[in-house]
Structure 1
Amino acid sequence: MELLFLGLVMLVLGLIGSFFSGLLGIGGAIINYPLLLFVPSILGVADFSAQEVSAISMFQVFFASLAGVLSYKKKNRLSNGSFIHKSLVIYMGASILIGSIVGGVSSKYLSGDTINLVYGILAIIAVVLMLLPSKGRHDTNQDEIHFNKAIAVVSAFLVGIVSGIVGAGGAFILIPIMLTLLKIPTRVTIASSLAIVFISAIGGVLGKITAGHIPLFPTLFTVIGSVIGAPIGSRISSKINVKVLRYGLVVLIAMTAIKIWTSIL
């Protein structure tokens, strides 16, 4: 009975995290990490370590981003168009893949407080970036898109490392970097970041498998919930005022960051 309740809790948490992922166009780990860290413990069904939470979250991001890529490819076939910038995906994807493997493997040697610290820093960055207005261009002519390859490679590598440690895809950091630093058009940024985050998730999953700390049963039910929640969030996003939910999410992440920083300090 306890195992069944644990599975139900993990399924609901995976569904909630991926719902907001589909709703707001982010990877979901920035939401899932605190949910997985605190809720099972509060309900008395499990007490996951930071390493276990980051592993579960990484698998959730992998399957959520895979579902997103497949969904985008389907839409792309129907519209006969593509906003994915192949050169950008190759440069940033290769770099973030290496970084996420390094981060995923490194998490094995980091304490729970250190991983929570990394999340706390990411949460602050996420709040700031989510409050900034988008500055991306709106043209989508890929022949006219030029970007600084050095900045693209270095920034993707650094994002990959911290994302691999926490178990995130890094979309909430990648998108502002692509919009503001690399000056990539908005539509191309959204489509290309999806492919880059999926590559990051592959590296992160490989790193977590190498590092261990993977609770298989909870991970399975979290992934099932993620596959259910993401499409629902995507469909609803076109029908409601996402800005209100976005600011609500900012408050939620900020409160979580305060809780984690309080426990660290």
Structure 2
Amino acid sequence: MSLNMFLVLLGIGFIGSMLAGMVGVGGAVVKYPLLLYIPPLITGTGFTSHEVAGMSAVQVMFASAAALWANRKGGQLHRPLIWDMGLTMLITSFAGAYGAHFVQESIVNVIYAILATIAVVIMFRPPKEAGMLEHEGMNYPRWLAILSASLVGVFSGMVGSTGSFLLMPILLSVLKIPTRAAIATSIAITFIASLGGVFGKAISGEILWNPTLVLVWASVVGAPLGVHLARRLRTRWLKALLATLIILACARTWWSIFAITGQ
């Protein structure tokens, strides 16, 4: 690995994980397009979609673990929801991650773009904070939480993500969880779900360990920093940041897909 590639991966890992810690996602929504498009521009060499998905899966696991540790004493973790959605996604993300090995790279990119588009649509329909459930004794529709986790797990596992960029819109707009509780809970669900995705990518041989370790090292520093920064920001700014990240990633991926098909 060249010095340029090392620095590029370090920057992507740190910035992506810091932003992820701020808005309660694992970071794949940011890092997937960055890892796919930035290294070739700067170093002249890049990674395939399958390799990016494998690296993203491992990075998400460590970034979410670091962010969860930083959130452990915040009092915002909703444990019943964490286990309902986390265990469901643990199983379904493994299925998606292993199944992606038999899918063409172009299809993996399209799946990522579709997931990001769905997240954008949901984010543009946020409920009013006053209409959300109180954190204490939240009585969410359990069947809807499990069904949502199943669908998100399968498809997000294919792109090396835990679907946390979809989880946040679902928690906020569908299950009506308060913003700060949704951020902390999403991080915990993301960590549990990431275990299945990493295992699936590992047994299919799609993880490049040297560049992945660089991303992991940056993630364990950047994610806790993002958590601490989030505590100093208003919830509406956190929502706006999450929506912006998803929109940018979605737009860049669709642009790349249409550019390739138009050639």
TM category (shorter chain) comes to: 0.7 to 0.9
- Report the more deviating stretch, 124-133 or 37-46: 124-133
Match of 1:208 among 187, 191, 201: 201
CA distance in 1, matches of 2:39, 2:146: 38
After superposition, the C-alpha distances for 1:61-86 in whole angstroms (9 at most, x for unaligned) are 1011000111111x34xxxxx33333
Say yes or no: does 1:233 pair with 2:240: no
Q: Contact 2:101 / 2:204 at 8 angstroms: preserved in 1?
A: yes
- 1:106 match: 99
How far off is 1:226 after superposition? 1.6
Contact 1:135–1:180 (CA under 8 A) maintained in structure 2: no
Residue 260 of structure 1 and its aligned partner are, at CA, apart by 2.9
> Which residue of 243, 253, 256 maps to 2:252?
256
Amino acid at match of 2:31: N
TM score, norm. by length of structure 1: 0.86
Aligned-pair Cα RMSD in Å: 2.3
Relative distance call for 1:158 and 1:254 in structure 2 (3 A) is closer
Q: Which residue is 1:140 aligned to?
A: 135
Distance 1:250 1:191 in 2: 19
Q: Which structure 1 segments of 5+ residues have no match? A: 77-81
Give the secondary structure class of the aligned counterpart of 2:188.
helix
- Higher mean alpha-carbon deviation, 61-70 vs 243-252, is at 243-252
Rounded to whole Å, the distance in 2 between the matches of 1:105 and 1:260 is: 25
Q: 1:126 touches 1:172 (CA, 8 Å); kept in 2?
A: yes
Amino acid at match of 1:67: A
Q: 2:27 is matched with which residue?
A: 28
**What TM-score, normalized to structure 2?**
0.87
Counterpart AA for 1:36: L
Distance 1:21 1:146, change over 3 A: same
CA distance in 1, matches of 2:180, 2:11: 31
**Percent of counterpart pairs with the same letter?**
39
Partner Cα distance (2:44, 2:218) in 1: 17
| Offset, 1:32 | 0.4
Q: 1:117 to 1:5 in 2, by over 3 A?
A: same
- Partner deviation per Cα, 1:84-127 (whole Å, 9 max, x = no partner): 33322222122111111001111111111010011111221233
- 8 A contact 1:24–1:246 mirrored in 2: yes
